[in-house]
A and B are shown apart, each in its own frame.
Chain A
Amino acid sequence: MNAPVRRLSFLVGLLFASLLVSTTLIQYVFAADLNARPDNRRTLLATYARERGEILVGQTPVARSVPTEDEFKFQREYPDGPLYSHVTGFYSFYGAVGGLEQSEDPLLSGSSDKLFYRRVSDLFTGRRAQGATIETTLDPAVQQAAEQGLGQARGAVVALDPKTGAVLAMVSHPDFNPNRLAGHDLATVDENYRKLTEEPDRPLVNRAIGGDLYPPGSVFKVVVAAAALSDGEYTEDSVLPGPAALDLPLTSATLPNHDDVPCSPTGEVTLKQAMVVSCNPAFGDLGMKIGADALREQAAKFGFGDSPSVPMRVTPSSVPAELDAPQLAQSSIGQYDVRVTPMQMAMVAAGVANRGTVMSPYLVQSVIGSDLSVIESADPTELTQAVSPRVADELTDMLVATVDEGTGTKAQIPGVRVAGKTGTAEHGEGRRAHAWFISYAPADDPQIAVAVIVEDGGVSGSETSGGSVAAPIAKQVMEARLK
């Protein structure tokens, strides 16, 4: 009976060899894959146990990790929760979601390769690994003003420093309280998250850079005027038709002016006058004359079609690819299928303000390691030259006149030359129009460029209503910076 026992012992060897192989596969070959699984609670706990870096506005943290007694070691806190909710995003059991928490996660968590040297030295010194701190470009006063300006309204405000592209304010309403999603009680967090996702107004969507995008309405006329002035055949004194309604080719429809009145008693207006009173027929006509290609090109020069990272990804704004003449006329007053983010319109304002040069928008001023050394520092870069300085000056002239004596008078700031443009964007029959305002100030040495949209804030067909709702908010925001 000894031979079978020997074979049996060989079989035992094989059985155990298979176990050694399976163990090796799990603990060595596929270990990294298993550890990277999103539902891996051990990995989650390990990340929680590391002190995550802060997000600063000025010198004040708007997101920070405080030690706790529970198994997660640290609790993420957002001292000014709702105010900065769309800037910070939130850090929860779902991982880092939205805002800087998500887009700067590798740095905040300390796993970024940029922190490699520090990680190695932590290993030897036994210091506990710590994430880097993100210092934002936001100006708390400007952010606060934007928040108060919007009040309970849905909408968004973006403010940029035209000379650098630094984001001074980014507010999207409705907002949410990230603290309610950062708790350590999974059931509560789940419930809060479910409530937020089910709300019809979608508070988790950052409307300033994403979401469904908006029709720009008359603020898009700045882009049309820029295209016309750049093509060399037009000046601010070029004469355009300004009837109560413009006949459109190929169709029986017309392009009516707001309030159904002619733009001037004579039925003709200069380009500058058309901007000041936001004359729809004149811009419809102008758009058809310069053509869809020129319009699209000009839009692209302002950044349309791009998807910059601020470092959150900005949804690209767009001008439709195929446009017949009536659609082109509609597009020229920012209707039809032109879709923009408030960030894009702030970039248009900032580009004109900065004498034609659009700077890349950015939200992170610097990244500071746990030992207070600067790991990264923002380096303002030119995105495009949208228009020549001459054209930019002409546009500024027209936009200052718009605030001084046109539709944008509600944005006037005593002692400061303010340039601005109103918009009232219709978005569907029987619904109140979106109220828009883009502006910058001071016109000769711009410190701030702003885009404001108040959803359903205007009255359809009445241009002044857009100005009266959105312009005061822009004014408040600019004042906060200029003080």
Chain B
Amino acid sequence: MSIVSSVAPRSGRTTELILLLGAVGIVGLAYVNLGLATTGSIPPGFAALGLGYLGVALAFHVVLRWKARYADPLLLPIVTLLNGLGLVMIHRIDIARGRDITDGVALRQLMWSALAVAIATAVLFVVRDHRILRRYTWIAGAAGFVLLLLPLMPVIGNSEFGSRIWIRLGPLSFQPGEVAKLLLAVFFAGYLVQTRDALSVAGRKILGLTLPRARDLGPILIAWLASLGVLVFERDLGSSLLFFGLFVAMLYVATERVSWIAIGLTLFVAGAYLAYLMFGHVQTRVLLWLHTFSPDALETSDQLAKGLMGMAAGGMVGTGLGRGRPDLTYLAESDFIIPSFGEELGMIGLFAILVLYVLLVERGLRTSLGTRDGFGKLLAAGLSFSLALQCFVVVGGVTRVIPLTGLTAPFLSSGGSSLLANWTLVAILLRISDHARRPLPDERQQAAVGEAATQVVKVR
């Protein structure tokens, strides 16, 4: 009886295209700005680089139109903007360090970005439906833990900057923790969607908290021990916090039980405190955190102090791109890229970057809310939260909210493994969001059938 209108639901692709042009525009403007501030002229390769970057972004956009038409329209522009700003800042540090564009870190980062985008689009082609990933739950879990522990292996494991979180194969060095983050999120999602009923229902109520049965504590204890292992043997507080936090958050989402958070926090605090008591390197980190400007701390490392002074030099509005001295801080293009932005773009610029991250994470969580299947929900929530946690660990580390650790700022920092992992993460989020936002196929089919029925009877 009722007339079914055939208004197509908005895919948001046009919005995405406009935002994408804006994002590339901002990056281009930043690049020109940097050139004017440092050499007084527009950088010679501007047109080629700008068009190249635009081309890569548009290619991704076209793939989305084709393969994930209903994917969230904000994710790609945000990531494009962050990645581009990172490239500009890395190039800026190259200039300050006197590195030519051909042998600079920025060019390498640009190539890694292109490769990361290629892999991310490939993921969209290969993974037609995120639920396929659930089949690989245990493989992903095993691979994730192996990658996590790989840097501890004798020959290929490599210690850099006090943390043993690198593996080195010939000329290539790689931070497997970034990829492990993805694999473990897949594993946790698959595992928890299976076991959530057992973990959430059974248990005894004490003091208003429903505590799990002792035998259900197994997984959290394993995750706890693994993360402590990372902290103690790889000396990497950041990764340790990231993995354990990711696990506890996903456990909470799966079971809806606050007691898991209480247990998780207790375990982590106890573990971290024990590690503090037992290991010198953890104590050093805490000293640097609490007494950054004490002579003892400065003797060990003045990196954090320099980063803070850089941010202070930027003040509210920043020195302007190319006008500050972010290169005075060690690792200004990777772990300390946030203070570099703080110095040159000021508090306002840094706020903008943080807001971009918040938007990215909240769009991911929104995707999780809209997804209909439990696995997708868990995976989207886990991936988004891992991004948030990583930002918190990185930015909190350089702004003295928590002890400094060696993680990269997603999309901004120089580092190939980080780019590959995070672009892939976004590709998976796009895939899930496409599924979440896509109108239910059966309704459309019914409508189509209904329409067809009013027209002609098929003769063939």
A-contacting 9-mer, from B52-60, B362-370, B423-431, B452-460: B362-370
Which residues does chain A contribute within 8 Å of B357, judged by CB atoms? 16
Identify which of residues 339-368 in chain B touch chain A, using a CB-to-CB cut-off of 8 Å. 342, 346-347, 350-351, 354, 357-358, 361-362, 365, 368
Closest Cβ of chain B to A442, distance in Å, is 59
The answer to whether A5 and B310 touch across the interface, beta carbons within 8 angstroms, is no
Task: Give the interface SS of chain A, mostly helix, strand, loop or mixed.
Answer: helix
The answer to the question of B199 belonging to the interface, with a C-beta cut-off of 8 Å to chain A, is: no
Which residues does chain A contribute within 8 Å of B377, judged by CB atoms? 1-2, 5
The answer to the question of B314 belonging to the interface, with a C-beta cut-off of 8 Å to chain A, is: yes
The answer to whether A9 and B365 touch across the interface, beta carbons within 8 angstroms, is yes
The answer to the question of B150 belonging to the interface, with a C-beta cut-off of 8 Å to chain A, is: no
The answer to whether B358 and A16 touch across the interface, beta carbons within 8 angstroms, is yes
Bound form: Cα–Cα A28–B311 in Å? 9
Bound form: Cα–Cα A24–B368 in Å? 31
Identify which of residues 302-320 in chain B touch chain A, using a CB-to-CB cut-off of 8 Å. 302, 305-306, 308-316
The answer to the question of B328 belonging to the interface, with a C-beta cut-off of 8 Å to chain A, is: yes
Count, chain B residues at interface, CB 8 A: 50
Given A16-B388, A31-B315, check contact A9 B362 (CB 8 Å). Answer: yes
Bound form: Cα–Cα A4–B365 in Å? 11
The answer to whether A23 and B399 touch across the interface, beta carbons within 8 angstroms, is yes
Closest Cβ of chain A to B155, distance in Å, is 38
The answer to the question of B230 belonging to the interface, with a C-beta cut-off of 8 Å to chain A, is: no
The answer to whether B308 and A34 touch across the interface, beta carbons within 8 angstroms, is yes
Given A1-B253, A16-B358, A24-B347, check contact A35 B312 (CB 8 Å). Answer: yes
The answer to whether B354 and A19 touch across the interface, beta carbons within 8 angstroms, is yes
The answer to whether A23 and B342 touch across the interface, beta carbons within 8 angstroms, is yes
Contact residue among A18, A22, A27 (Cβ-Cβ distance under 8 Å from B346): A27
Chain A CB count within 10 A is highest, among B346, B368, B391, for B368
Closest Cβ of chain B to A219, distance in Å, is 47
Bound form: Cα–Cα A41–B328 in Å? 8
Which residues does chain A contribute within 8 Å of B312, judged by CB atoms? 26-27, 30-35
Contact residue among B316, B358, B361, B396 (Cβ-Cβ distance under 8 Å from A22): B396
Identify which of residues 359-402 in chain B touch chain A, using a CB-to-CB cut-off of 8 Å. 361-362, 365, 368-369, 374, 377-378, 381, 384-385, 388-389, 391-392, 395-396, 399-401
Task: Give the interface SS of chain B, mostly helix, strand, loop or mixed.
Answer: helix
Closest Cβ of chain B to A31, distance in Å, is 4
The answer to whether B256 and A4 touch across the interface, beta carbons within 8 angstroms, is yes
The answer to the question of B244 belonging to the interface, with a C-beta cut-off of 8 Å to chain A, is: no
Which residues does chain A contribute within 8 Å of B298, judged by CB atoms? 39
**Which A residues contact B (CB, under 8 angstroms)?**
1-6, 8-9, 12-13, 15-16, 18-20, 22-28, 30-35, 37, 39-43, 45
Instruction: Taking A8-B381, A28-B316, A39-B302 as given, write out 9 further A-B residue pairs in contact, using a Cβ cutoff of 8 Å, ordered by the A residue number.
Output: A5-B368, A5-B377, A15-B391, A15-B396, A16-B392, A20-B351, A23-B399, A32-B312, A41-B306
Counting from the closest, the 9 A-B pairs by CB-CB distance are A34-B312, A22-B399, A27-B347, A31-B312, A9-B365, A4-B253, A12-B388, A42-B313, A15-B392
26 residue pairs bridging A and B, Cβ less than 8 Å apart: A1-B374, A5-B365, A8-B249, A12-B365, A12-B384, A15-B388, A15-B391, A15-B392, A16-B357, A18-B392, A19-B354, A19-B392, A22-B400, A22-B401, A23-B311, A26-B311, A26-B312, A27-B311, A28-B347, A34-B308, A34-B313, A35-B309, A39-B298, A39-B305, A40-B309, A42-B309
